[in-house]
Amino acid sequence: MKFDSKYQEILKNQTLFVKEMLKKSGKTDEEIEIILEKGWGKAALAGLVGMGALTGGFMKSKDEYMSKHPQIQSRIKDADIKPVNKEDKKEEVSVPTKRENHGFSQDFLNFVKKYEADNGFFKFAYMDGKKDDGSQRWSIGYGTLARPEEEGGKVKITEQEAFNRLIEELKTHRNRVLSAAKKTNVHLNSNELDALTSFDYNTGAGRKAILNCRGKKSNISNYMKLFKNFEGKENIGLMNRRADEVGMFANNDYNVNKKLTSNKKHINNG
């Protein structure tokens, strides 16, 4: 009787586990209830056998126990629980999602990173035009504003740090665009929001594009094209970027279609 009392205790504790196993085997909730109600805990016994618990301490072999209790074998068969072969389990691959990138699609991030640093990132700060107050602007990583101690290329950053800073700055510019859209009662779909976020990140004028054009989308596209000058002169890199941002805005095109030349320019601090 010592064995029976211990066994019943284990049987009780495994009920929830076995229910889950039955669900995974394709049983409906109604079928599971019938299985658990017919006979005393045959599904729980099936779970124990599947885990090899009977061989762990109470009996030297589950087969020995089954031979003495043939009625249990039929109950296990009815439960139809198949053991899981660990070797058959496919390895799960983690795929980045928009949520993991704080709401930004990978296509959008690739677009911005391509225009800001072409095929890499800047470990050290570089001179990148002027700030609104006329002082020298230093950028780093993927075009983010360098910190004072990094100006002059004195301190380097890692690629992960560059990415983290890019995300934080893009979130700020996206919020600026959303605020303007809300104020003018204009709905932006995802590609329009992305295009204006990139535009605002580069020029600081994404919010103005919406407010000045009163949310009229055809006017917004034309307004974006005006920001093609750097230090008073037309810049081929900015012209390329504007064309691609307009393509994203109007046609949902995230490709970098133009030849990259002198792209690493920020018109202002935004």
* Burial of 125 per CB tally in 10 Å (0-12, 13-18, 19+): buried
Q: Is 126 exposed, middle or buried (0-12, 13-18, 19+ CB in 10 A)?
A: middle
Which has the closest alpha carbon to 44: 68, 20, 71, 62?
Answer: 20
- Please give the Cα distance from 44 to 135 (Å, whole number): 75
The more confident residue out of 128 and 97 is 128
Per-residue exposure over 17-39, b if at least 16 CB sit within 10 Å of its own CB, e if not: ebbebbeeeebeeeebeebbeee
Percent of the chain exceeding pLDDT 90 equals 49
pTM: 0.60
Q: Which CATH architecture has domain 106-251?
A: Orthogonal Bundle (1.10)
57-111 residue pLDDT tens: 434 444 555 565 555 555 545 444 444 454 444 434 334 455 457 789 999 999 9
Closest CA relative to residue 78, chosen from 43, 111, 129: 43
- For 170-201, b/e burial (b = at least 16 CB within 10 A) is beebbebbbebbeeeebebeebbbbbbbbbbb
Please list, in sequence order, all residues whose beta carbon lies within 8 angstroms of the beta carbon of residue 163, skipping any fewer than 6 positions away: 121, 141, 142
Is the per-residue pLDDT at 223 higher than 50?
Answer: yes
Q: Which residue has the tokens 């209790």?
A: 69
Contact in structure between 46 and 18 (CB atoms under 8 Å):
yes
35: pLDDT strictly greater than 90: no
Residue 224: per-residue pLDDT: 96
Other Cβ atoms within 10 Å of 202 Cβ, number: 25
Where along the chain do the CATH 1.10.530.40 domains lie? 106-251
How confident is the model at residue 103, as a pLDDT?
Answer: 86
Give the percent of the chain with pLDDT over 70. 59
Of 53-57, 189-193, 252-256, the range with the lowest mean pLDDT is 53-57
Question: What is the C-alpha separation between 140 and 54, in angstroms, rounded?
Answer: 63
pLDDT in the model for residue 32 = 67
- Cβ-based burial of 208 (10 A; exposed 0-12, middle 13-18, buried ≥19): middle
In angstroms, how far is CA 170 from the centroid of its own chain? 15
User: What mean pLDDT is predicted for residues 174-191?
Assistant: 95
* Residues, the chain: 270
**pLDDT per residue over 150-171, tens digit each?**
999 989 999 999 999 999 999 9
